[in-house]
Amino acid sequence: MADPMRIRAVLNGDKVEVKVLIRHDMETGLRKDQAGEIIPPHFIKTLIAQYEGKTVLDAVMGISVSKDPFLHFKFKGGVKGGKLNVTWVDNLGDTRTDSAIIS
Amino acid sequence: MNVFSKIIFTIFVIQMNSYAFAESSSTDEISKYRELLADGNPAELWEMRGEELWKKKIAPKNVSLEQCDLGKGAGVVKGAYVELPRYFSDVNKVMDLEQRLVYCRKTLQGLSHEQAVKVPFGSVGNSSDIEALVAYITSESRGMKMNVSNKHPLEKDSYEIGKRFFFYRAGTHDFSCATCHSANKKRIRLQELPNLLNKLDAQKTYTTWPAYRVSQGEVRSMQHRLSDCLRQQRFPEPVYASDSMTALIMFLAKNADGGVYDAPALKR
Amino acid sequence: MKKMLMGLLVSIIITGCATAAIKTDYGQTMLTLLKSEFISKGPATVERVLSQDEVQKICSKYPVERPEKMAALIQDSQMKTVKYPSDGIYIGDWKNGEKIAQNGRGFQSSDPLGGVNGGNCYACHNITKSEISYGNIGPSLYNYVKAHGSSEQVIKYTWAKIYNSQAYTDCSSMPRFGHSGILDEQQIKDVMALLLDPASPVNQ
Amino acid sequence: MNQSRRDILRMTSVLGLGLVGNLFGSLNVFGAEWMPKSFDAKNLADALKELGVDKYTVSSDVAVVSAEIAENGAVVPVSVSSVIPNTEYMAILVEKNPSPLSAAFNIPEGTEASVTTRVKMGGTSNVYAVVKADGKWFLASKEIKVTLGGCGG
């Protein structure tokens, strides 16, 4: 089971500033473990952020996004108390959705 | 000065200048790198998980850690870390946070010693409950001043033993903690070395551990920090949460007295 | 054992309070803990760190400054340990020297037994222009020949400094690479070349 | 997911049009389709080709923001941004990585064309921001040096 994300969404003027932290190993599939065996790839491939059902960011990622990924972006049109959902899916089909209320 | 030596001198000055410039701009860019990273510290994910673990009832006794006494009474987490290590009368010894956590997991939750110290340091696919708990507990002291007691004789002893350890030079490379950490403004490669005998440096260092290490992708505790120092010092491995490590931590914590606690932090 | 020791400690303190005669021997307590709470791993052994030589003992006790007599004693005794190259050749291959200067491995609990040790010179010294990631615990070695020349005296001094730094500076932070068996004779020759060979980037 | 839906999604992601996504309503919950050919490309030229970048302009209206020196290549903060109107798509590529394409973003209307993330870098390299606006491609790059860590290794 994937760990929860940490999502911060703060209204600043007319823009909502969003910061997302995700607990994920983002394993490249290029590394070897101590026994010399290749560690299989395990990484987030797609991520989508939606504000009240409307997509505000849509991302695809490769193996070179860092472990425990971080995203920072801004969108217009959000209001305080509104709900932002973030969903990711990784290459093994594992997925997680968390939400944050805009403050 | 003749023309020739003037030219040489000029070249020399230019070279020295560009050298100094190269060095200062490197360190500026590295500070910029650190600033950029500080925005969004993955340690928060450990703090979240640690809080859940603190409150989670587990076998065999099916109790949580919420009644663990970290020194300020059963269940008080707020501000506990800035007063550790400290003397605990229930065990009649000085304990640091991690030693105390092991104790609570054994006595409150009924874990065996092996279970209680299992995976003290996490790795890929094998995350550490201890590091998460430590991240949570320490985060509850953020903004508070380091206030470590040395009133009890055992606290004083622990400090003095830690101090001897700090200066103990041994092994193939003749290293002690002091070799790298007793002078101002020193660096290994580009990594700045805090002078742990200097009040400000000691405060700045102690108050920023534990930290999410970007090089390791994990939150690392004080015990891990010391173990890894000792490894590079060419020392054998300390047993996790042992009295010698508590003594060393006592020495470092006491030297950081008065510093404002600001961790879990984020480091290279 | 540990419990016994702590018990002992407590009783010493109690009697200490009463009589103010017996003081806890912190150094001895620390050593007992080091013995009981550390585990040998790979090339880093408990025995090795417990068996301090005289130099290590003095430097632990007087980390900053020590009486002149002791300083002289260290320098004299350490100078006697220096073994100059058996074939009289001091300069090896600077390219290997650069590799040794970059390599920080050897004798750590995480290193393999019998692996190749590095000198890790860049950890503490500025050496070549192209490596910007260097430390400042030791002096800059860039332009070594320009700064010091390359007379026989300089060559011998440099060799001895690498072989046993404390022959010149008591309680130096620099490991005693030859004396402690960190670098072998050929490796020291290669590091010598990095510093002294006119073709080395150090002197370019 | 069936092939035709995948194709439609791939198309929308290549076109990078939020509007097209909206035409399919509920579909946009799946987001952009991962593009194996782009991510597997082994050099910058191939990666750009797979992204559909045929002609491009090097533009000062596009920026890669980071420190010039990264202490650790495992985590390098990178921001890509564009002030070109109607920016709809942004990608980050690390030239010297075994697979240069790191991440790509569809920027729906209302979202600022500025995204910060963190990427791994095998060593010192140019990092590229590739931006699509009004169907045209724009590029910017910045060299980021990756240094060694502390002692021992």
Q: What ipTM was predicted for this assembly?
A: 0.78
Q: What are the residues facing B35 on neighbouring strands?
A: none
CB contact under 8 A, B42 and A70: yes
Q: What are the residues facing D143 on neighbouring strands?
A: D126
Written as six digits, the tokens of C25 are 């021997």
Q: What is the predicted pLDDT for the residue at A31?
A: 86
Spatial separation of the C-alpha atoms in residues C34 and C5, rounded to whole Å = 13
Interface test with A, best of B46, B124, B268 (most A CBs within 10 A): B124
Report strand pairing: D62-65 vs D136-146.
unpaired
Confidence of residue D72 (pLDDT cuts 50, 70, 90): confident
State percent of chain B over pLDDT 70. Answer: 91
Written as six digits, the tokens of B261 are 């606690």
Q: What is the mean pLDDT of residues B76-89?
A: 98
Rounded to an integer, what is the distance from CA D112 to the centroid of its chain? 15
For residue B29, the surrounding DSSP H or E stretch is helix B3-38
Q: What is the predicted pLDDT for the residue at B24?
A: 60
Inform me whether the pLDDT recorded for C60 exceeds 60.
yes
Which residues from chain D sit within 8 angstroms of residue B217, using beta carbons? 74
pLDDT tens by residue, D110-134:
999 999 999 999 999 999 999 999 9
CB contact under 8 A, C133 and B173: no
- Name residues of chain A where pLDDT drops below 50: none
Picking from B198-207, B234-243, C12-21, D13-22, which range would have the lowest pLDDT averaged per residue? D13-22
Using DSSP, state whether D51 is helix, strand or coil: helix
Confidence of residue D18 (pLDDT cuts 50, 70, 90): very low
Spatial separation of the C-alpha atoms in residues D43 and C202, rounded to whole Å = 35
pLDDT tens by residue, C7-35:
444 444 444 444 444 567 999 999 999 99
Q: Of chain B residues 88-107, which have a CB less than 8 A from chain C?
A: 92-93
pLDDT tens by residue, C71-106:
999 999 999 999 999 999 999 999 999 999 999 999
**Topology, domain D33-146:** Immunoglobulin-like (2.60.40)
Rounded to an integer, what is the distance from CA B129 to the centroid of its chain? 17
- Cα dihedral across residues C181, C184, C187, C191: positive or negative: positive
Q: What is the predicted pLDDT for the residue at D8?
A: 41
Among residues B68, B104, B177, B229, the one annotated as catalytic is B229
> Is B180 noted as a catalytic residue in this protein?
no
Inform me whether the pLDDT recorded for D29 exceeds 70.
no
> How is chain D split into domains, by residue range?
1-32, 33-146
Q: What is the predicted pLDDT for the residue at D31?
A: 62
* D16 or D53: which leads in pLDDT: D53
pLDDT tens by residue, B183-207:
999 999 988 899 999 999 999 999 9
Which residues from chain C sit within 8 angstroms of residue D153, using beta carbons? 103-105
Inform me whether the pLDDT recorded for D84 exceeds 80.
yes
Rounded to an integer, what is the distance from CA D38 to the centroid of its chain? 10
Tell me the pTM: 0.83
Mean pLDDT taken over chain C:
91
Mind listing the domains of chain A with CATH numbers? 6-101 (2.60.40.10)
Q: What is the mean pLDDT of residues B119-146?
A: 95
The arrangement of strands across the sheet holding D76-82 comes to A6-12, A15-21, A70-76, D114-119, D76-82, D62-65
C-beta separation of B205 from B39 below 8 A? no
Q: What is the mean pLDDT of residues C160-178?
A: 98
